[in-house]
A and B are shown apart, each in its own frame.
Chain A
Amino acid sequence: MSALAYQLVPVSGWNPLVLILLALIVGVLVYMIYRLGNHSYKETKYKREPFLSGNSPADDPDSLHIGGSNLYWGFTRALKRYFEPLVRGHTGLLNDYLYWFVITVVVIMVVLYFV
């Protein structure tokens, strides 16, 4: 096997160069389709509305940006019973850090001794 071929041996059946080549081919095809349709496209406000659920674009540009804590609000709200005790457990207190250290030592010691 040549030196170059040796460097290109796939990992777990994965060869990124094949994917990149494929992506390039698909990219060229997509661009060609885009070029075919784009020259006949005419901008009207109605063509944008489907992407805003039929609403008109907001006048205030600041309102277009959704802050970090608003994203996934529904997800974290739905899993409140998981997240609340988890966040509460991260107290930031050094004593609690050490409790967990001691608890982990005891648990692993018991497991190692009896299993």
Chain B
Amino acid sequence: MNIDIVQHSPALILAVPLLFAFLTPLVDRISEKGRDALFFLGLIIMAFFVAIMAYEVYTVGEWSYVFGGGTVTPTGADSSFFRILFVADGVSAMASITLTISAIGAAIYSYTFMKDETGLNKFNTLFFLMVAGVNGMVLTGDLFNLFVWFEVASVSSAALIAFKTYEGKAVEAALKYMIISVIGGLFFLLSIGFLYGQYGVLNYQLLAENITGTNLDKIALTILVVVLALKAGAVPLHFIIPDAYSMAPGSVTAVLVVASQAGLWVLFRVVFTLYGVAVNTLTIGWIVIVLGILSMFIGVTMALVQKTVKRLMAYHAISQTGYMLLGVGVGLAVLGKPEMGLYGRTAMEGGVFHIINHAMYKGLLFLTAGAIIFKTGIRKLDDLGGLGHSMKWTMGFFIIGALAIAGIPPFNGFASKLMIYKSVYRFNPLLSIIAMVVSILTLASFVKVFHSIFMGPKDEDIYDTGDVPKPMLAGMTILAAFVILFSLFPGAVVSNIVEPAVEALGVI
């Protein structure tokens, strides 16, 4: 039997974590070492298939994968019309690459970070399910399956946030996350119903051909935009993000950042691929821009007044999401107009480039925050200080992440922000100035964090000497290496990964 692995790679990217999620509890009954080995093996095999799919997308082109074979036809006569469909394109390739890097870094970090916890078979299973859910969200080619993977990602994320059940606030945060996600999911289902009721199809491509911009289409679009902005953590729908990010274990938070970004990817697919010019793109573009500006400014100013390290970083995650929305919103506002060629495409590329940059440096920062809490058991900035004497590697990783998020050259955050500043300035100078002010405030906030945690005299009573264990450092090294790599070669990332993603959204 000759199986075309390349052709089946989109399905295998999902099948592998699902299979390993099922195997983990079984192997755990035999051997804990086997369980841990399985954790890494599953992610490495998944990474292999992600690499195959991405290589094929970047060298040959995109393709649709219909489960059970066949093709999707607009007439509905073919039975494959109702089949599950995945899309291997620039968007799914870039999103899967981002997730895989973060997940592997977080998994290696978890090896010692979580070793004193009980129920690690459940942790590993939930981790695999979250990875599968997020990959499913970006790979799927129809709205109903999107809803299913949205739920898989939400339920597993909520369970992982609550993993340290002995910390009461973690359970509270998870409960809020779950309720908000379920309500969001039900609204999402309602909007799918509106579209299916009108057109009788769920497939992105077929819906895109049919949507004409009726009032019901606009209601469905509103709900989709709000639910996906909620998933991404855009202001004023951001409230759950600080709760969830601050209470989840450090390694989980690094992957939660990518899970939130899946909401952004789907939002971009909805507004570009699904609706496109069928609705007033200038209005929708401005809605996305306003969400972006609110997220940037309120996120960073709320971060300035935070007193705990992870909550502060969570508000910065909201703020950075604003940059992505701003860049892509400007691209949307000029979709189909001559301005797209002048600056709209660069704005979109900047926004999309910022997604992968953010996943790397924000993931790294959350891992450093986890390392600090792991070593000291302290979350409050006022109670920390002098860690630079003993946690030199962690401090180094923190500096890399902090400089990147603040957009200091030559780090990758600067490259994507520069693309956004320059292109958005041509659309509306005020928006670009706000983005620059937010960047300055971000730097100010991270100076505060750095000073609070790492500077000051060493207190021998509180801190023992030495840094965190090597597996945790290795996890941070992976993300830091990608931050540096993207910083040194932004042109390569934009031309090889970002541009195919922007083209896959239907922007030529």
Contacts and interface: CB of A to CB of B under 8 A. Distances in A.
Interface string A1-43: 0000011111111111101100000000000000000000000
B491 A87 contact: no
B410 A20 contact: yes
A52 interface: no
B176 interface: yes
B400 interface: no
A72 B490 contact: no
A109 interface: yes
Given A14-B490, A71-B448, A75-B304, A108 B287 contact: yes
Nearest to B496: A7
B284 A112 contact: yes
Contacts of A15: 491
A9 B225 CA distance: 35
B237 A7 contact: no
Interface in B205-248: 215, 218-219, 221-223, 225-226, 229-230, 236-237, 239-240, 242-243
A1 to B, nearest CB: 11
B119 to A, nearest CB: 27
B183 A98 contact: yes
Given A14-B490, A20-B410, A111-B283, A76 B305 contact: yes
B225 A108 contact: yes
Nearest to A60: B457
Contacts of B287: 108, 111-112
A68 B449 contact: yes
Interface in B384-435: 384-386, 409-410, 414-415, 418-419, 422-423
A98 B176 CA distance: 11
Contacts of B350: 12
B448 A72 contact: yes
Contacts of A112: 218, 221-222, 279-280, 283-284, 287
Contacts of A113: 215, 218
A112 to B, nearest CB: 5
Nearest to B239: A97
Given A16-B409, A19-B409, A62 B457 contact: yes
A47 interface: no
Contacts of B474: none
Given A10-B491, A12-B346, A66 B451 contact: yes
B494 interface: yes
A17 B490 CA distance: 10
Contact of B230 (A7, A68, A101): A101
A32 B476 CA distance: 35
Contact of B488 (A16, A71, A82): A16
A9 B298 contact: no
A64 interface: yes
A19 B410 contact: yes
Given A16-B415, A97-B180, A67 B490 contact: no
B495 interface: yes
DSSP majority for the B interface?
helix
B466 interface: no
Contacts of A11: 353, 415, 418-419, 490-491, 494
Interface string B326-351: 00000000000000000000100010
Interface residues of A, number: 47
Interface string A58-94: 0001101111110110011000001100110010101
Nearest to A79: B301
Interface string B283-299: 11001000000000010
Interface string B447-472: 11101100111010000000000000
A69 B410 CA distance: 30
A100 interface: yes
B382 A14 contact: no
Centre residue among A12, A67, A69, A94 by max chain B CB count within 10 A: A12
Contact of B302 (A19, A72, A90): A90
B63 interface: no
A67 B386 CA distance: 11
Interface string B136-163: 0000000000000000000000000000
Given A65-B456, A67-B382, A94 B180 contact: yes
Contact of B239 (A16, A66, A96, A108): A96
Nearest to A71: B448
B385 A67 contact: yes
B301 A86 contact: yes
A109 B219 contact: yes
A7 B492 contact: yes
Contacts of A90: 239, 242, 302
B167 to A, nearest CB: 16
A14 B242 CA distance: 34
Give 7 closest A-B pairs by Cβ, nearest first.
A68-B381, A65-B456, A16-B410, A68-B452, A9-B491, A7-B492, A67-B382
Given A94-B179, A98-B180, A105-B187, 4 more contacts: A9-B492, A11-B491, A12-B418, A68-B448
Interface of B: 176, 179-180, 183-184, 187, 215, 218-219, 221-223, 225-226, 229-230, 236-237, 239-240, 242-243, 279-280, 283-284, 287, 298, 301-302, 304-305, 307, 346, 350, 353, 380-382, 384-386, 409-410, 414-415, 418-419, 422-423, 444, 447-449, 451-452, 455-457, 459, 487-492, 494-495
24 contacts: A7-B492, A9-B492, A12-B350, A16-B409, A16-B415, A16-B488, A20-B488, A65-B456, A67-B382, A69-B307, A82-B301, A87-B302, A94-B179, A96-B239, A97-B176, A101-B183, A103-B236, A104-B236, A105-B222, A108-B222, A108-B225, A109-B219, A109-B222, A112-B218
